Amino acid sequence: MTATANRSAPADTEIRPYRIEVPQADLDDLADRLARTRWPAALPGDDWTTGVPVAWLRELAAYWRTGYDWREHEAQLNQLPQYTTELDGQRIHFLHVRSPEPDALPLVVTHGWPGSIVEFLDVIGPLSDPTAHGGDPADAFHLVIPSLPGFGFSGPTTDAGWDTTRIARTWAALMGRLGYDRYGAQGGDIGATVAPELGRVAPDRLVGVHVNGNPGTLPPLPLPDEELASLTELERDRIRRTEAFMREESGYIVLQSTRPQTLAYGLVDSPVGQLAWVMDRFREWTHPRSALPEQVIDRDRLLTNVMLYWLTATPGSAAWVGYAQEGGWGAPKVNSEVPTGAIMFAHDIGIRRYAERENTIVRWTDVDHGGHFAALEEPELLVNDIRELFRSVRK
């Protein structure tokens, strides 16, 4: 027997242009499934206290089937330069929008769950081409907006272990492959964990981090009475809302982090199941909470975001990457010393004194309105805060 050398295949480093082209058969199948939905009986009251109301979801699903035009939004997405490349064994899909300003600062922007690259459609223009949007050309960014591993066109995942540290290392490799050796990072939700982590894995490359939402971990709850008394009323309200969330809303985290495969069967097979699962979070996390999701965010934009999960059949891998973190949530992090800015909208729960334990906070903004999905709900405020942070560090 002749021995054969064990040579691994060379890494595929090619960056390929990408265009979304959903087969019409997939859209016909979606319409058919929506028409044949087996609806549950409404629970008493049929309101948001027990989940997504049947009457409300029926109306939204009917619009999805007969009024929403995927081709229109597919074309809008395809106006943006999209690419795929393989990193750490995973196909990564990303937008790469270069600014017309030659001295623009590269910025990698990360979404969360149940979001997608669709979150950023209203901020791409102002961030990449401020002159065209009444801004200062010195604030321009070259934007890199990846789909998280396991999400949408970056899914499904091919192996386990996609915690935020691995994602940050992958983003650093992506920026290097694009030729960027000095850049910033921004993110919300999962992105608000990935962006600071990028500062830890590539501190010599990162000039600054900006997040909407909490960039660190809160202390173990409940707080001792003495510590609670030392907080401001705004901070105490954030602690109370965090405690209420853990009591009343954290079931989805438990399910996604422990049984993502089991959950995936229902979400991949039923478009209404997928719609309800995502809309439940959008209603709870937009501001004000009393408003319906489509009163805060354009209804077509909400459905386009859901479509990226449905068309790619990735709710299982998205749940796995988003919440089945190997290290666990809340583990303390080393401070990278990268200058960090954070904006807290009304829904957010970050508290500066705790965020400073593992981040070098140089800018902290509290806003009395706006919700969790900052780029969708308050794009102008978010853009302005990103610009302010990076003005101080991009030199």
* Residue pLDDT, tens place only, 345-392: 999 999 999 999 999 999 999 999 999 999 999 999 999 999 999 999
Q: Are 73 and 307 in contact (CB under 8 A)?
A: yes
Instruction: Quote the CA–CA distance of 163 and 211 in Å, as a whole number.
Output: 18
- According to DSSP, residue 139 is labeled G
39 Cβ contact partners less than 8 Å away, ≥ 6 residues apart? 54, 58, 272
The angle at the Cα of 125, spanning 121 to 127, to the nearest 5 degrees, equals: 105
- Residue 323 has a pLDDT of 81
Count of residues for the chain?
Answer: 395
Q: Are 278 and 114 in contact (CB under 8 A)?
A: yes
Instruction: Quote the CA–CA distance of 147 and 305 in Å, as a whole number.
Output: 12
Instruction: Quote the CA–CA distance of 289 and 272 in Å, as a whole number.
Output: 22
Q: Are 238 and 349 in contact (CB under 8 A)?
A: yes
Q: Which amino acid is at 60?
A: L
Strands (E), the chain: 16-18, 82-87, 90-97, 105-110, 141-146, 183-188, 206-212, 339-344, 360-366
**What is the distance between the terminal CA atoms of the chain, rounded to a whole angstrom?**
63
- According to DSSP, residue 367 is labeled -
State the angle between helix axes of 271-285 and 299-312 in degrees (0 to 180), rounded to the nearest 10: 130
- What is the maximal distance between C-alpha atoms in the chain? 77
Tokens of 320: 């796995």
Low-confidence ranges of the chain (pLDDT < 50): 1-7, 328
Question: Minimal CA–CA distance to 247: which of 259, 239, 257?
Answer: 239
| Burial of 110 (C-beta count, 10 Å sphere; 0-12/13-18/19+) | buried
The angle at the Cα of 263, spanning 260 to 266, to the nearest 5 degrees, equals: 150
pLDDT, tens digit, 9 for 90 and up, residues 105-156 = 999 999 999 999 999 999 999 999 999 999 999 999 999 999 999 999 999 9
- Residue 9 has a pLDDT of 54
- Residue 5 has a pLDDT of 38
221 Cβ contact partners less than 8 Å away, ≥ 6 residues apart? 239, 242, 243, 246
- Residue 99 has a pLDDT of 98
